[in-house]
């Protein structure tokens, strides 16, 4: 092997090591990695319930198949962050959650709920779930044609409260007639894409948490 090849391979190894370390650091920042809960719950509005999809094509059902484990659908059409907060005890906290995937905000946008109110509700949802010892993931969305104010709420809440952030789960779906059932809901193909994007982020988190769960408490 010539010197140029050796340098190139060393550079690639350094880059891969750096990226791996960064990914691990982000996962380690998620709170409650050693959660004693058992249930994976998708908590949200019509996008979680699966409006526009056929039976078994809602994203929680598709995610369950991708993860090869049970996933509970706690979506309810029409929910704002405020309405979701009102039902969080029955829908989430009483179900022994290990990981809760939160996909909310679309109805806040449609109803023109003030951004600060949406942020406050989302933060309270996260805190209540974490207080029960579960991990949280927030699925982000771009809401609005010309502005993207909500993405900042999702991302900043995730960063500040120790939550896994899953960016832009609806990216490209509502601009593609083959992926949507109506102007604001995906069809089965669209929900497959959402499940794929969420699974891509959730799998490494669960693998990392499983390793920690199997370690001794002092490790």
**The pLDDT of residue 150:** 78
**The pLDDT of residue 64:** 98
**The pLDDT of residue 145:** 55
CATH 3.40.50.1110 holds for 31-214: yes
Helices (H) and strands (E) in the chain, counts: 9, 7
Q: Which tokens go with 126?
A: 């996260």
**The pLDDT of residue 35:** 97
**The pLDDT of residue 143:** 79
Q: pLDDT tens digits, the chain, 219 residues: what are they?
A: 555 555 555 444 444 344 334 444 479 999 999 999 999 999 999 999 999 999 999 999 999 999 999 999 999 999 999 999 999 999 999 999 999 999 999 999 999 999 999 999 999 999 999 999 999 999 999 876 546 677 899 999 999 999 999 999 999 999 999 999 999 999 999 999 999 999 999 999 999 999 998 864 433
> For the whole model, what pTM was predicted?
0.86
Domain boundaries, the chain: 31-214
CB-based contacts of 65-72 (< 8 A; 24+ apart in sequence): 66/195, 66/196, 66/199, 66/203, 67/40, 67/199, 67/202, 67/203, 67/206, 69/40, 70/39, 70/40, 71/40, 71/41, 71/42, 72/39, 72/40, 72/41, 72/42
**The pLDDT of residue 24:** 45
**The pLDDT of residue 149:** 76
**The pLDDT of residue 91:** 98
């Amino acid at each position: 092997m010539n010197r140029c090849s050796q340098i190139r391979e060393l550079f690639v190894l350094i880059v891969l090591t750096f990226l791996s370390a960064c990914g691990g650091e982000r996962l380690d920042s998620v709170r409650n990695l050693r959660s004693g809960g058992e249930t994976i719950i998708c908590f949200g509005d019509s996008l979680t319930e699966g409006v526009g999809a056929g039976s078994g094509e809602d994203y929680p059902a598709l995610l369950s198949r991708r993860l090869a484990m049970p996933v509970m659908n706690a979506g309810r059409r029409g929910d704002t962050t405020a309405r979701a907060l009102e039902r969080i005890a029955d829908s989430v906290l009483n179900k022994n959650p290990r990981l809760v995937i939160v996909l909310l905000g679309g109805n806040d946008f449609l109803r023109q709920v003030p951004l600060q109110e949406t942020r406050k509700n989302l933060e309270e949802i996260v805190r209540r779930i974490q207080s029960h010892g579960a991990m949280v993931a927030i699925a982000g969305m771009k809401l609005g044609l010309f502005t993207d104010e909500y993405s900042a709420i999702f991302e900043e809440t995730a960063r500040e409260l120790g939550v896994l952030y899953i960016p832009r789960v609806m990216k490209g779906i509502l601009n593609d007639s083959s992926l949507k059932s109506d102007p604001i809901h995906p069809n089965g193909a669209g929900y497959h894409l959402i499940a794929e994007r969420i699974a891509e982020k959730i799998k490494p988190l669960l693998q990392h948490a499983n390793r920690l769960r199997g370690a001794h408490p002092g490790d």
